Structure 1
Amino acid sequence: MSTTLNHSAPAAARPPAGRYRSTKVRRQRVRAAWTFLAPMLVALALVAGWPLIRTFYFSFTDASLSDLGRASFIGIENYLIYEDGRWYGVLADPIWWRSVWNTAYFAVVSVSLEVVFGVIVALILNAEFKGRTLVRAAVLIPWAIPTIVSAQMWAWMLNDQFGIINHLLMMVGIIDAPIAWTAEARYSMWAVIMVDVWKTTPFVALLVLAALQMLPKDCYEAAEVDGIHPLRVFFKVTLPLITPALMVAVIFRLLDALRVFDVIYVLTSNSTSTMSMSIYARQQLVEFQDVGYGSAASTLLFLIIALATVAYLYLGRKQLQLGGDA
């Protein structure tokens, strides 16, 4: 009896042939994937990884742009240090915290507006009407224009002396005198947000439109037969189905918004009312030639973006899991 059991145990423990082949194929696919990804990972390590490591290193030194070779290690003094009864460093600089607030405000407001307008534009472009192809091509023009070009174009149009925006608003009687949209603190941030929304809303609309094109028609036909209001169909059917595409659009736009530099720098330069974290770091690195201090600001910017990305992906995954359980 025991002999029979001893002979049968290895056979029972042996995995089925189909499962073994499946595991072997999976391992081959993983090896093939790493083989194809290896050149890209090496290039990414050289192009992005090495400069990032040097930035981390310089943030703990007193490096100067005039002579990087004579940098000395000073610990966390560029970040925060208490000396002579006062706090010094990036974390004690009120201008840095103002730039953090400006960047967060810009990111939240601009990305929110881009999502709303992007969904509206995508819904319009998804409808059947004459000349839809031309309209789709025209909508993508702002996104196709380089950011520097579009920012400079808007800087001319928003100019308080010869800008066409002031001219049109005065023609229709909305304002009585020209407004310095990019110079006055109460208008400059909203001017920057408006330009960014105009520039990148087509990107969100393109991703949402691609998701709308993939939706099944049966749900909408059934809703039309049942006489369900279109708004209810949108919030109960369309929006949940396009949520994955919206998440991709939001995370891409959020990353771009948190590291925004070009559009703000072209429109308002180093103004503290609109200064972003990237502009603050650039000012320390280039204008003040303090590589150590600027590298500390750049490192903090990297950590903030990384934490925001991880938090958003975690919350988005939880939301999708809750939606799937429901």
Structure 2
Amino acid sequence: MAISEPLSAPRAVRRTRSTQVRRQRVRAAWLFLLPMLVALALVAGWPLIRTFYLSFTDASLANTGGAQFIGFENYLLYYEGTWYGLLVDPEWWRSVWNTLFFSVVSVSLETFFGVIVALILNAEFRGRMLVRAAVLIPWAIPTIVSAKMWAWMLNDQFGIINHALMGLGIIDNPLAWTANADLSMWAVIMVDVWKTIPFVALLVLAALQMLPKDCYEAAEVDGINPIKVFFRVTLPLITPALLVAVIFRALDALRVFDVIYVLTSNSTSTMTMSIYARQQLVQFQDVGYGSAASTLLFLIIALVTVAYLYLGRRQLGGDS
């Protein structure tokens, strides 16, 4: 007993000092984050809270100040044997399906081709820096500009896409890429994938540049197939960068508005949740109903984000 007491005293002192240092770091972190949190609360917090409130009112664009509180009627209302509201609106659920379909397909294609482009740019060849700069051009072009550019290229009368396909003998007649309900969604996805592949490729390329060379040299000496090396070594090591790229692209895809609105306007075949909310708010001037759609859009994006981050954390062993 006499020996254990002197040994436990320094240990307790170290534990106390470690706790104090940790508290100081946490306090300093909150101090540095405070200006950003205040600015975020003013810029985003107040409009978000007001949108939540307006979703429970009958506000219109001409009279937001005199809005009356109506509870959940914008979301769901049973009146004279019939259900009304956003949750039973077929156009709303069609926009939800369009958004999810667009997000899943576009993000999947962007991830697949982004990894391929990153692997090509990571290889040693002459003029690699010039190719890297050229690949970033689609990402550097503003979305509105690129969407308008593609709208001209996809035009069924004078678009260069139809002209090229007809010249190659792939199609016999011009296709209405943005007007045909069967083609418009795929046309929008194609434009979005073209623009955002460089973003995924850039993040993956940065991860590839940081990979250790020893394991690749050992695999080359052992004569292991390059495809097996990619799936067993490269892909697990770049997974964190891929998760970051996918979550950022998923967030953009779920709230997509500009590229679809420029190409197809209010077409029901491509209408997303953001376009639906804008239609209710601006075109129909129903601020309460539009705010309800915006609120559900926010909740869906938040739910998808939390679920993806949780699954990604489990995949990376973050719980341990």
Length-normalised TM-score, structure 1: 0.95
Match of 1:287 in 2: 283
Structure 2 counterpart of 1:72, from 60, 68, 74: 68
Tell me what 1:85 maps to: 81
2:33 paired residue number: 37
Distance in structure 1 (CA, Å) of the matches to 2:80 and 2:281: 26
Helix, strand or coil for the counterpart of 1:66? coil
Which of the numbers 168, 171, 179 marks the counterpart of 2:167? Answer: 171
- From 234, 239, 248, the equivalent of 1:243 is 239
Distance 1:137 1:20 in 2: 52
Give a deviation string over 1:6-29, Cα, whole Å, max 9, x none. Answer: xx8799477533333332222222
Give the gaps of 5 or more residues in structure 1.
none
* Aligned counterpart in structure 1 of residue 196 of structure 2, from 181, 195, 200: 200
Query: What is the distance in 2 between the residues matched to 1:97 and 1:237?
Result: 42
Task: State the secondary structure of the residue aligned to 1:186.
Answer: coil
Equivalent residue runs for 1:108-257 within 5 Å = 108-257=104-253
1:47-62 correspondence runs (5 A)? 47-62=43-58
Distance 2:240 2:107 in 1: 16
**Regions of 4+ moved over 4 Å:** 8-15
Hey, what does 1:261 align to over in structure 2? 257
Letter in 2 for 1:111: V
1:270 to partner: Cα distance? 0.3
Q: Which amino acid aligns with 1:152?
A: K
Change (3 A) 1:10 1:65: farther
Give me the whole-angstrom Cα distance separating, in 2, the residues matched to 1:10 and 1:223. Answer: 53
Q: Partner of 2:56: helix, strand, or coil?
A: coil
Partner AA of 1:163 in structure 2 = G
Aligned residue in 2 for 1:308: 304
Which letter does structure 2 place at the counterpart of 1:82?
A: Y
Partner-residue secondary structure (3-state), 2:83: strand
- Structure 1 position 296 matched with structure 2 position 292: yes
Give the Cα separation in 1 of the matches to 2:208 and 2:5: 55
Q: Secondary structure at the match of 1:184?
A: coil
Structure-2 separation of matches of 1:70 and 1:301: 25
Aligned residues: CA RMSD? 1.9
Taking the aligned partners of 2:278 and 2:66, their CA distance within structure 1 comes to 21
**Which deviates further from its counterpart, 216-225 or 24-33?**
24-33
Counterpart-to-counterpart distance in 2, 1:11 and 1:48: 53
SS state of the match for residue 78, structure 2? strand
Normalization by structure 2: what TM-score?
0.96
Deviation readout 1:50-106 (Å, 9 max, x if unpaired): 000000000000000101111000000000111121111111100000000000000
Amino acid at match of 2:97: W
Match of 2:99 in 1: 103
Gaps (5+ residues) in structure 2? none
Q: Deviations over 1:201-226 (max 9, x none)?
A: 10000000000000000000000000
Cα distance in 2, alignment partners of residues 86 and 213 from structure 1: 60
Taking the aligned partners of 1:207 and 1:214, their CA distance within structure 2 comes to 11
Q: How far apart in 2 are the matches of 1:222 and 1:13?
A: 50
Q: Which residue type is aligned with residue 44 of structure 2?
A: A
Q: Deviations over 1:141-189 (max 9, x none)?
A: 1001110110000000000111111111111111111111000000000
For the residue of structure 1 that corresponds to 2:183, the secondary structure is: helix
CA distance in 2, matches of 1:286, 1:84: 29
